Amino acid sequence: MRNLEDSRILVIGGAGFVGSHIVDQLLAEPVREIVVLDNFVRGTRANLSEAAKDKRVRIVEGSITDRTLLAELMQGTEYVFHLAALWLFECVYQPRSALEVNVVGTFNVVEAAHQAGVKKIVYSSSASVYGDAVFTPMTEDHPFNNRTMYGATKIAGEQFFRAFNEQHKLDYAGLRYMNIYGPRMDYKGTYVSVIMKVLDRIDAGQAPVIFGDGSQSYDFIHVADVARANILALKADASDEFFNVGMGVKTTINELVKMLLEITGSDLQPEYRPQEQMFVTHRVGSTEKADQQLGFRARVPLEEGLHSVVEWRQQDQTNKLDRSTVMG
């Protein structure tokens, strides 16, 4: 088990949804400095508004495509979290950009970390590498059944870490996230955006829309649990290993929408429409390996987690309204 005392930690993509929660939780650790690198394309300074009040936090605007900047930030850094990536939507419509950021950018991170003598990196991979489930729960030995550009870029990243561990003994742990939701989530996560879209419809007094029959099932995990898994992975002795990060609980879209209707006190009935393109329709991960080697088990039940999303969303909308009133 690693001691993070007096360490300097670089969080790449630290202004994003998951990254900002990692920064928040790192502040409870005895670290010396937390450097956040983000290009603010998806991450926001608002996500770091509380963390930035701590003098140990330094925010740098920049990209993992900038090798000189990466080399400079890696100097004197003990540990790195690498979360920066273009997501599934961009990978579909801007595949070359996805290649430059997710693949070449990740190689830049791995190379710079090795050259600077970084002690360990935690890499944010994705359950997208598995594609549709061949068997459930999916263990980490599940075949790479991926058929998306996003999943392909994550597989490439995983292979870079494996190769550098083999050749240079670079210490790392990779996390394959299931479907993350929670405060600060946006509308761009293909599988979780259903939560925000359903809440939008309920707010407007319109029936939430379910595509297909609603039997599509996913493994939803709260962002606070995901951030905790990252810090446990950094501290753990486990190296050169990949871990599923999920609840290990299958939830259908029908069940999810029903919960959101109950939480918001709505009596609307879902409206079913023909199935649009879906990249994956069935996914739930085994949690055993993360439990055994990282000591990680998710704690936030889905209903409690969805309450946190509804509360955050209401507060966020109030804050935006207040800002527009001031600006106006």
Instruction: Determine contact, residues 12/82, Cβ cutoff 8 Å.
Output: yes
Per-residue model confidence as pLDDT tens digits over 288-308:
999 999 999 999 999 999 999
DSSP tag of 28: T
Q: Is 150 among the catalytic positions?
A: yes
pTM of the model: 0.95
Which segments of the chain have a pLDDT < 70?
A: 187-192, 277-279, 323-328
pLDDT score of 254: 96
pLDDT score of 323: 66
Q: Nearest-CA neighbor of 304 among 221, 186, 209?
A: 221
- Pairwise CA distance, residues 33 & 52, whole Å: 12
pLDDT score of 326: 62
pLDDT score of 188: 61
- Pairwise CA distance, residues 106 & 101, whole Å: 7
Amino acid at position 56, single letter: R
Domain ranges of the chain: 8-182+220-247+281-300
- Pairwise CA distance, residues 205 & 267, whole Å: 10
For 8-182+220-247+281-300, the fitting CATH number among 3.30.70.20, 3.40.50.720, 3.90.260.10, 3.40.190.80 is 3.40.50.720
When computed from its CA atoms, the radius of gyration of the chain, rounded to whole angstroms, is 20
- Pairwise CA distance, residues 142 & 136, whole Å: 9
Instruction: Determine contact, residues 38/17, Cβ cutoff 8 Å.
Output: no
Residue from 123, 130, 150, 172 carrying the catalytic annotation: 150
- Pairwise CA distance, residues 7 & 292, whole Å: 26
